[in-house]
Amino acid sequence: MDRLDYSRFYHLIPAQKHYAWGSGTKIQDLTGLPEDRKPLAEIWMGSHPNGMSFIEAEGKRIPVSDFIAGNPEKALGKPCLEKFGSLPFLFKLLAAEKPLSIQAHPDAETAKAGFEREERNHIPMDHFTRVYKDPNHKREMIYAISTFYALKGFRSKEEIKVNFKNFFPFSGSAFVDFRYSGEEDFYKKFFTRLLSMDQTLRKAMLRELETTASGMGDVEQFIFRKLLYDFPEDRCVFAPLFLNCIKLNPGECMTIDEGQLHSYVDGLCFEVMSSSDNTIRGGLTEKFIDVLELFNIMKFVHGSKVCVEPVDKGAEQLYSPGWDEFCFSSIVTKGEPYTGPQEHSLEVIFVYSGSGKVENSSSALDIKRGMAVLIPAESGKYTISGSPDLVIYKAAMPL
């Protein structure tokens, strides 16, 4: 693998992920991938074994993991290699036509212990009950391409009490009037009551909510109707009343921390995350639900709605959540060349619109809409130039 040139750029071929909540058109329209009967939910750009990307080199397709292994320092850069030993992020394009599960992701200690436990128990990686797919923690940041709806983090306990009493005039007070000691205890007891609700009570509360839902805000009502349409029998259909309802406009960005309960509901976004496939689910899904493990990893605290504000670097808007593994940039060239830094980690760029080329002192690669490119650390300073409508999105490890 050493014969590969680590100073040049490579066309990156993402892995495609077909899930029931995906879209038949959103990713396809942007990437030029053919439409088929299976909804396309995500494309993965990275080296995770559950969704390996490939580069085109020497007339064949080479797994990104093999490219990195061929010369880790030239591929990743010395700072990344010393800190992580591998590519620490996964870059995705995500299209939600239906709501994703109510879910959370583990921290590093819990992920390592969970993965080792399931390996000892010889649970196959593709088994329905397999929860930990790797030993890595998972936190993520999304950037809205379209209007994007999501649920993120618990509302304040005061909001939850008011919502349940107002929207469930017959049953709400009894549901939220219980003894608790502090915020964490309230959320644990509330969420336990919700997930253990019997079907008779769920149906009664749903009948109440169907008559009072018109009093919700526009975002809450949109999300509730989506959940109700796709998961009418699920207890988490009431999530808009106890989780923060988020509407991101195109160009807005937010983070999901380890242990934070959330669901993506509708829209198209870029997602940058720790290189992990660990998801523990609590509802709104036909996949395996593991309530005990969800409670083990969750943070029972009031969640924030705050978006990530970019650092203005001219043509580049840099979104950095302050985490070691990744940052994200939008680059709007307006026909002017963009120059990347001399020192950088392995970077992945995605061409959102326009066409042009990426080049350095020794090589050049033509780029166009829907194309992903791998930029090794060894490539050094580079320039991206092209048509006036050339827009690039980039994932990297911050140095």
Tokens, residue 243: 């989780």
Clarify whether 281 is annotated catalytic: yes
- Single-letter code of the amino acid located at 323: W
Is the CATH code 3.40.50.800 the one for domain 1-155+242-282+306-399?
no
- Following DSSP, what letter does each residue of 199-260 receive, concatenated? HHHHHHHHHHHHHHGGGS-HHHHHHHHHHHHH-TT-GGGGGGGTEEEEEEPTT-EEEE-TT-
Confidence (pLDDT) at 380 = 97
Which tens digits make up the pLDDT trace of 148-185?
999 999 999 999 999 999 999 999 999 999 999 999 99
Low-confidence ranges of the chain (pLDDT < 50): none
Confidence (pLDDT) at 305 = 75
Confidence (pLDDT) at 2 = 52
User: pTM for this structure?
Assistant: 0.96
Q: Considering 8, 139, 155, 281, which one is annotated as catalytic?
A: 281
Confidence (pLDDT) at 36 = 78
Give the start-to-end residue ranges of the domains of the chain.
Answer: 1-155+242-282+306-399, 157-240
CA dist list (Å): 357 to 207, 369, 390: 57, 11, 10
pLDDT > 90 fraction of the chain, expressed in percent and rounded: 96
